[in-house]
Structure 1
Amino acid sequence: MKKIGIIGAMQVEIDLLIARMETYENSTVAGFPFYTGTLFGKDIVLTRCGVGKVNSAACTQILIDRFNVDCIINTGIAGSLRKEIGILDLVISSDVTHHDVRKAQMKNLFPYQESFIANNRMIVLAQKACETLEVKPNYHFGRIVSGECFVSDTRLKETIINEYSPACVEMEGSAIGHVAFLNNIPFLILRCISDQADDEAAMSYENFEKLAANQSAAVVLEMIKMM
C-alpha cells in the first residue's frame, strides 16, 4: 500500500496515532482535520471524522479524492452484540452494513449491496497484529453494524442482533465501508469494545472509552509496522 488512510471518529481514538507519527502536516478540509505524514516510514493520512454516518461518509470521500489514499483503516470503539465478546476485546470486520436501513432497500437500490466486504489481506494483517502485540488482546471476526444512534437499550440491541447477527455496533464503520466500496478502495473496520450496548452502556462507555480507543489504535500501529 503506497498511502494509508486512517479514520477515527473522536479525538481520543486518534491521539495515540498522532503521538507516534514521525512527521506530519496538519490541514483542514470541510472542517475535518487531516494529518499527513509518516508512521514507521509509511505514508499516512490520519483524520478525525466526527460521530455519525454522514460525517464519516463525507470525510472518507475527501480522504480518497483529496489525499489519494490506497486503503482505509477505521479505528475506534463499539458496543458488543455477542455474549462471548467482552469489554476491551477487539472485533475485526468481515463486513459492514447499516442497521437503520432496511435490507430490501440495501439490496434493491444503488449500489445494490446488503453489506460491504472488508479486504481479506487487511483482515489477515489485523489478526497478525493482534498476535504480535506483547499483551495479546482477545479478538473476534464478524459483521459490524452502524446507525445514527448510540445503542444503549437492551430491546434495540436484541432487535439488531436478530436482524443482522453482528459482532458489534457503532456509528461510522458502515458508511466508511460503503464509500470505500463505491471507490473500489480496500478497507477494514477495527473496533475495541467499550460497552455491551445495553441499558448500562453509557456508564461502561465512560469507564472504558480511552482504554478501548488506545487498544484499537495499538493494533493499527502494529498493522502499519507490518505493511
Structure 2
Amino acid sequence: MKTCLLLCRIFLTVLLLTGTLSLRASATGLLDTTPRIAVVSAFEPEWTLLKSEIVDPVEHKINGRSFITGKLAGKDVVLFLSGISMVNAAMNSQLAIDRFSLKAVLFSGIAGGVDPGLHIGDVVIADQWGQYLEAVFARDTAQGFAIPPWMAKGDFAGYGMMMPRPVEVTRKDAAPESRFWFPSDPGLLEVARRAAAKVDLAHCVEANSCLSNKPRIVVGGAGVSGQAFVDNAKFREYVAATFQAKVLDMESAAVAHVAYSNGVPFLAVRSLSDLAGGDGGANEMMTFMDLASKNSATVVKGILKEMR
C-alpha cells in the first residue's frame, strides 16, 4: 500500500512538472504564426506614420513593449519600436524573432549623414553595417597609443585611443566567427533599387520652408552604429575616411547583428535628419526630424510594395 501511494505521488509530481513546463513553453512560444516582415523604428516619431496605416491592427504586449500585427502596403507585418540605443535595439529585435515568424526585418528611421556628398532629407540604404564603438581603449605610451601586445591589431585606424575591433558572432550549426561588417540582404537591396526608382521624397517642412537640395535615395555603401549621439565634425570626418561610411546611427548595426545571427534577411532605411556635426551651425535634427521620418517611412512602404 505504501509503495502504491509513493508511486502515485511520484506520478502526480511528474504530471504537475510536465504541465508547468508545458505552460512555460507555451508562454514563450510564438504569439502569431503568420509569416511576417518586421518593420522596426527606433523611437515614436519614426513610426507614427507607419502605425497609422496598419490595416486590421492587433496589439501584442511583451515586457511592456507593443508589437502590432496587421497589413502594411499589402504585406503581413509586425510593427514595433526597437528603442534608442544598441542594447535596446538588439534586445527587442531578438524578442520579435523569438515570438513571431519573421521572413525579414526592415528598419525605418533617421540618422546622421557622414558622407559629405549627402544632404539632410536624403535616404541611405547601406549594403553593410558595422559597430564602430566595439573598440579597445588603447594605452597612451611614449610611442603613441598601443593595444595590449597579446591582442591582434584591427583592420581600422583608431581615433586617438579608440581602436575599433570586430566582434565574435555565433550562428546555428556554424563555428563562431569574428566580423566587423554585417551584410544587408542582397535580395532586399535589389527590391530597394526597384522601389527607389518609383518613390518621391518630401523636401519641405512647411509650405514656405524647403530644403535647398531635393532629397534622393542612395542604395549601397556602408553604415555604422554606436552607443553615442555624434555631433562632432572631426569625428564625422574620421568615420567617413576610416569606414567609408555614408551614414551613422545608434541602432542599425545591432539589429543587423541579431538578424545575421538568426539567419533572418535584414535591411535598414535611414533618412538624414542632421549631418552628425557637419552642419554649418547648430545640429538641425529637431528641425528636420519629421521630414526625415516621413521620407524613411515612404521608402519602407515602397519596398514593401515591391516585395513579392
Normalising by structure 1, report the TM-score: 0.93
From 286, 297, 300, give the equivalent of 1:217. 297
Give 3-state SS (helix, strand or coil) of 2:179's partner.
coil
Once residues 23 and 107 of structure 1 are traced to their aligned partners in structure 2, the CA distance between those partners, rounded to angstroms, is 40
Q: CA RMSD in A?
A: 2.0
From 229, 241, 244, give the equivalent of 1:150. 229
Matched, 1:23 2:56: yes
Q: Pick closer, same or farther for the CA change 1:85–1:68 going to 2, 3 Å.
A: same
Give 3-state SS (helix, strand or coil) of 1:198's partner.
coil
Q: After superposition, what is the alpha-carbon deviation per residue over 1:59-114, rounded to whole angstroms, capped at 9, x for unaligned?
A: 11011110121100001011111111111011011100101013464166754112
From 199, 208, 216, give the equivalent of 1:133. 199
Normalising by structure 2, report the TM-score: 0.69
Matched, 1:196 2:262: no
**Structure-2 residue corresponding to 1:176:** 255
One-letter code of the match for 2:248? V
Deviation at 1:134, TM superposition (A): 4.1
* Structure 1 segments of 4+ aligned residues over 3 angstroms from their partners: 102-105, 107-111, 134-137, 199-203
Q: Larger % of helix: which? A: 1
The equivalences for 1:62-141 within 5 A come to 62-102=95-135, 103=154, 105-106=165-166, 110-135=176-201, 137-140=215-218, 141=220
**Structure-2 residue corresponding to 1:6:** 39
Give 3-state SS (helix, strand or coil) of 2:295's partner.
helix
Q: Pick closer, same or farther for the CA change 1:24–1:115 going to 2, 3 Å.
A: same
Once residues 155 and 55 of structure 1 are traced to their aligned partners in structure 2, the CA distance between those partners, rounded to angstroms, is 28
> Structure 1, unaligned stretches of length 5 or more?
none
One-letter code of the match for 2:134? V
> Structure 2, unaligned stretches of length 5 or more?
1-33, 136-153, 156-164, 170-175, 203-214
Q: Is the 8 A contact 1:116 1:174 kept in 2?
A: yes
The equivalences for 1:44-63 within 5 A come to 44-63=77-96
Greater shift, 107-116 or 209-218, is seen at: 107-116
Q: Pick closer, same or farther for the CA change 1:55–1:202 going to 2, 3 Å.
A: farther
Greater shift, 96-105 or 77-86, is seen at: 96-105
Deviation at 1:45, TM superposition (A): 0.3
Once residues 173 and 114 of structure 1 are traced to their aligned partners in structure 2, the CA distance between those partners, rounded to angstroms, is 13
Once residues 32 and 118 of structure 1 are traced to their aligned partners in structure 2, the CA distance between those partners, rounded to angstroms, is 26
Give 3-state SS (helix, strand or coil) of 2:284's partner.
helix
Deviation at 1:142, TM superposition (A): 1.3
Once residues 175 and 37 of structure 1 are traced to their aligned partners in structure 2, the CA distance between those partners, rounded to angstroms, is 25
Once residues 161 and 188 of structure 1 are traced to their aligned partners in structure 2, the CA distance between those partners, rounded to angstroms, is 21
Once residues 108 and 47 of structure 1 are traced to their aligned partners in structure 2, the CA distance between those partners, rounded to angstroms, is 27
> Rg bigger for which structure?
2
Once residues 51 and 149 of structure 1 are traced to their aligned partners in structure 2, the CA distance between those partners, rounded to angstroms, is 10
Once residues 268 and 289 of structure 2 are traced to their aligned partners in structure 1, the CA distance between those partners, rounded to angstroms, is 17
What is the aligned residue count? 227
One-letter code of the match for 2:38? G
Deviation at 1:155, TM superposition (A): 2.0
Deviation at 1:199, TM superposition (A): 6.1
Deviation at 1:202, TM superposition (A): 5.9
Greater shift, 100-109 or 137-146, is seen at: 100-109
Once residues 223 and 263 of structure 2 are traced to their aligned partners in structure 1, the CA distance between those partners, rounded to angstroms, is 19
